[in-house]
Structure formats: structure tokens, C-alpha cells
Amino acid sequence: MSEQPASVALAARTEITGARRLVVKVGSSSLTDAAGMLDIARMEMLVDALAAARGRGQDVVLVSSGAMASGMGPLRMRHRPRDLASKQAAASVGQSLLVGRYGSLFARHDLTVGQVLLTVEDVARQDHYRNALRTFTRLLELGVVPVVNENDTVATHEIRFGDNDRLAALVAHLVGADALVLLSDVDSLYTEHPSHASARPIQLVPDIDELEVDTSGAGAEIGTGGMATKLQAARIATASGIPVVLAAAASVEAALTGEPVGTLFQATGKRRSRKLMWLAYASVSQGELVLDAGAVRALTERKASLLPAGILEVRGAFHVGDPVRLVSEAGTVVARGLVGYDSSDLPGIIGRSTRDLVAERGAGFDREVVHRDDLIVRSRKKRT
């Protein structure tokens, strides 16, 4: 990644200051002290900056980690718990402390907060995804600042959504945000691990797919994420038309007022529909369709729909409207799509032309297995 002049990075920050709606994510280590207790001074600085953005006419959604860390102090836990039950207990105690403090701090600015707790299922299932959208839409219409966190207390699997970074990117697209700001204890993306003397900060990333940096090393002990999860979040957002700023939490005011702090990842793709965004990054595939070479070319080169004739095999159990993977004979995933048939109906029609199927079974079999408008083809961007 070549170095960018400050003037270029500064000019690009109008994408942040001109944003109608912002999603701001803050990590656990940026909100708590070494003992795991909430650092009120840090929270005040964050809330003051977000309230100022609201005062400039911007909608703000806050994705905040810190529930588990907040609960560690009251429960006299000296270290981040490892077992699921203890994590859930700490999150249960800490979530009320965290949101209660946010409520009192935002109230100083005559702003009301609303707690939104999400699980992976809430973004993985399309009906839950729509319900979440309705909730966010109404909260923002009412002038409320949504405070979002993963619902750690009821998770049935290991609590980790990428330290909320990936969740923040999905929320940014869900609410129609114009920019995503990731706040951390790291002040920028570096050319290599910041501990190395030769490491240099990167101000501007025009295309994240061309990025080559060292992201080894874990995050702070109190948090769960590192640079890799932040780059994943940036990749999701920028590919969907949303610019991202990665900056230190201590620089939140500067980041939100357009100063060239941290790293700006410029948007590289067009804004996708919420349905396609969900399909690409949030949905859980229910099965696979194995395609012949001709069908793979039709999908990837001609942007065609998937017809029964191009399918070699059906794997898994699914229903109409479920997300499925479309794979080549070699097993390479070439696309994801919303299927138009139940899995039980496909074995009898795969490999056959729609013309023959209509003649034999009727007009109901003239439809695509996956329509091109319900497809996300895997990017095959060339690298140099």
C-alpha cells in the first residue's frame, strides 16, 4: 500500500462529515480500565462526540462492546472468563451497568438511548433481519440513539461475533448508514505490526482488496478482537458502498469532524439491497447445488439465472426462499442465492431443460431455480 498525501486523506473525510447516518462501534478495551471497570471519563468523551454529531444533524447508531468487561468488576473476576456460563453471567450483570451509564450520559444532552441486543440468528434469519430493521427505523424516527450489542446472555454457542466489528458492519448496512467508524485502542492500520520499528501508519486505503499488511497479534486482553476482525468489517462495509474510518477511541471527536486521524477505507462497491447484503454476509446456507461448467460460466460471466439444466447434484435440506451455496464440480463456491424450489422437488428436474419440464409438468416449471436478482456471485478480483 503506497503512502497517501495528507491532502488526499483530508479531502476524502467529507464522506464522514457529510454522512446523514453514522454507525460508530467502540470496543471493550476503550471503555474499561485494567481492572475491568467502566472508565467514566472515556465514556463521557465518546458520548459528547456522538451528541455533537447529533447536533450537526446526523443520525447515530452506537455499537458498543463492554457488557462482559463491565460485569467483571462487580463479580470480582480478575481475568476475562473462559467458560460460557461465566461469560454469560458477566454479560448479564454488565449490560445493565453499561446501558444505564450510557442513558445518564446521553441524558445530559437531552438524548434518549434504546438498547438493541442482537444474536447471530437475528441477522442470519431473514424474518428476524426484517424485524430488526423495523426496530431500528422506528427508534431513529423517534430521535433515539440505539445502543447495540450482541446478546451475550442468551447465546447458545461461544460468545464471539468478531468483537462486534462484523456486527457493526452488518448493522451499518441494515440501517442504511452512510459511514462506519470503528473505534479501538489502536490508532490506525499499520504497514506491519505496530511493535515493529519499521511499521508505518496508513492514512488511506482506496481498495481493501489490494491491501497487504501484517495483522498478526491479538487484541487487548479485556477485548476479543484484533485487526483482522476490523479488516473483515471494513471489507463488508466498503464492498457495499459504505466508507469506514478506523481510529483510536481517544480520537473520536477528530474522527467524526473529518480530521485525518486513523485510517480511512474508501467504498469500493455499490450499495447493495438489504436482501443481497443479508445473503452475502449474514445468512446461513441451508444446502448446496453442484453446477456443471456451463452453469458456472453462465452465472459468473453472463450474470444469468440458474436453471435446472445446469445442476448436477442437490445437497442438504431446504425450502423455497432459503439461502444456498452454488458450487462447481470441484467444490469451489461460485455464488450464493435464494432458491426457488424445495430440496425435495429438485432431484426429479435437475439436468433437464425448462422447455421439456413445462411440456411434461406444466407452466409452473418454467421458473428459475435461483433468479439472477437473488444471486451474489463470488468476486474473482485479479491481483497484481
pLDDT at 234: 92
Q: Is residue 1, in this structure, part of any structural domain at all?
A: no
117 and 178 assigned to the same domain: yes
Residue 324's beta-bridge partner residues? 337
Cα angle 194, 26, 150 (rounded to 5 degrees) comes to 120
Assign residue 11 the CATH number of its domain. Answer: 3.40.1160.10
345 and 235 assigned to the same domain: no
Domain-ending residue, one of 249, 277, 305: 277
Identity of residue 276: L
pLDDT at 299: 94
271 and 315 assigned to the same domain: no
pLDDT at 214: 60
Domain encompassing residue 231: 6-277
**What is the pLDDT tens value at each position of the chain, 384 positions in all?**
444 444 444 454 888 889 999 999 998 888 877 766 778 999 999 999 999 999 999 999 999 988 887 888 788 887 878 888 888 888 888 888 899 999 999 999 999 999 999 876 677 677 888 888 999 999 999 999 999 988 766 655 544 454 688 889 989 988 999 999 999 888 899 888 777 888 889 999 998 888 876 665 544 443 344 788 899 899 889 988 999 999 999 999 999 999 989 999 999 877 777 777 778 776 778 999 999 999 999 999 998 999 999 999 999 999 998 899 999 999 999 999 999 999 999 999 999 998 888 888 888 788 899 999 889 888 655 443
Counting Cα atoms < 13 Å in the Cβ hemisphere of 302 gives: 8
Please tell me the distance from the alpha carbon of residue 142 to that of residue 51, in angstroms, as a whole number: 15
207 and 339 assigned to the same domain: no
Total structural domains within the chain: 2
pLDDT at 211: 81
Domain-ending residue, one of 227, 250, 277: 277
pLDDT at 84: 81
Domain-ending residue, one of 226, 261, 277: 277
262 and 314 assigned to the same domain: no
Assign residue 297 the CATH number of its domain. Answer: 2.30.130.10
Q: Is residue 382, in this structure, part of any structural domain at all?
A: no
pLDDT at 9: 47
352 and 259 assigned to the same domain: no
Which of 17, 12, 23, 41 minimizes the C-alpha distance to 250? 41
